[in-house]
Amino acid sequence: MLASFSPREKVLTILTYWWVVAAAAILGGLAGLGAYALKTPVYEAQVHIAIGIDFTRTGYMEQYDKDLALGAAAGVIYSTEVMQQVVDAARAENIPIDFDSLFKAATIERRSYEWILRVRFSDPDQAAFIANRWLDLGSLALDSAYQHALAADAIASYLDSLESCLEQVAVNAIVPVCPYNSVSELQAGLSTTEEKFLVEKQAARGLFPGVTYQVNQRATPPQQPVLYGRNNLALAGLLIGLIVGIAMVSSGFPLRWLKRN
């Protein structure tokens, strides 16, 4: 006959040999820490850039619109074009990185009106270099997009005046305030201006003149590696050790070992 299973006896056995379970859990946790120590250390460099909105220029904005505006500015910094430029700059300094690994190593985080650009890399000096180049190239991209946003805004105002002229021409064929001698010229001017507006609008990449930005902090080489995944490995090792310890006690191994010795 098969021996009957008694949960109570199993629990009492585990409690009796609790030290075996505890030792196995501790050894498992130490093994997890040992596995972490074998990993290549990772250093994190940070840069901070403040992106805000000039409400004296924009007036009141809904939260949704503000988030869109701030997100557009961050999108310029985190764009494929800028990231590829960062890769090229890093490679020029003999830093071993490619486009895919940069996207894995670089993250951008928003804290209210401040954006934190983080770069994790195996070398602290290289991590700081990549972060600062990202900041510099991202700022240049923002400057370019902002200039196009200003141009698009000016063209939009001019476009409004032409549309107003066209409306007036529909009522009065002779409108001295319009900068064209005929309706056909006015319509051609409208078409040309609209094309220029679309070009500038696209080059602005979602940015508008009410957005402001400034660098708050540049990166310095980090002194200590980040404890990335250490706690997870230690916890995983501890749990595995705990399970192994319970299995050993439940199988009667400690009792057999004590009798043998």
pLDDT greater at residue 172 or residue 76 = 76
pLDDT at 66 over 80: yes
| Same domain, residue pair 118 and 172 | yes
- Residue 91 forms part of a structural domain: yes
Query: How many domains are there within the chain?
Result: 2
- Per-residue model confidence (pLDDT) at position 27: 82
- Per-residue model confidence (pLDDT) at position 2: 46
| Same domain, residue pair 104 and 171 | yes
Contact 118, 83 (CB under 8 A): no
Closest CA to 86 of 43, 50, 119, 49: 119
| Same domain, residue pair 116 and 24 | no
- SS3 of 95, please? coil
State how far the Cα of 151 lies from the Cα of 155, in Å rounded to an integer: 6
Contact 165, 77 (CB under 8 A): no
| Same domain, residue pair 110 and 186 | yes
- Residue 7 forms part of a structural domain: no
Radius of gyration of the chain measured on its C-alpha atoms: 32
Using a pLDDT cut of 70, give the percent of the chain over it.
82
- Residue 222 forms part of a structural domain: no
| Same domain, residue pair 158 and 241 | no
| Same domain, residue pair 143 and 243 | no
- Residue 131 forms part of a structural domain: yes
132-169, pLDDT tens digit by residue? 999 999 999 999 999 999 999 999 998 888 888 877 76
- Per-residue model confidence (pLDDT) at position 189: 83
Largest separation between any pair of C-alpha atoms in the chain: 115
Q: Which of 66-75, 83-92, 177-186 has the highest mean pLDDT?
A: 83-92
Domain ranges, residue 164: 43-217
Q: Where are the beta strands (DSSP E) in 54-112?
A: 106-111
- Residue 82 forms part of a structural domain: yes
Tokens of 207: 């940015």
- Per-residue model confidence (pLDDT) at position 220: 93
Whole-Å CA distances, 82 to 45, 132, 177: 18, 13, 45
- Residue 242 forms part of a structural domain: yes
> Range with the lowest mean pLDDT among 13-17, 81-85, 140-144?
13-17
- Residue 256 forms part of a structural domain: no
| Same domain, residue pair 33 and 151 | no
| Same domain, residue pair 131 and 98 | yes
| Same domain, residue pair 153 and 76 | yes
| Same domain, residue pair 191 and 99 | yes
State how far the Cα of 250 lies from the Cα of 21, in Å rounded to an integer: 10
pLDDT band at residue 171 under the 50/70/90 scheme: low
pTM of the model: 0.70
Contact 241, 38 (CB under 8 A): no
Please name the residue that has the structure tokens 């670089």: 106
| Same domain, residue pair 196 and 117 | yes
- Residue 132 forms part of a structural domain: yes
| Same domain, residue pair 98 and 166 | yes
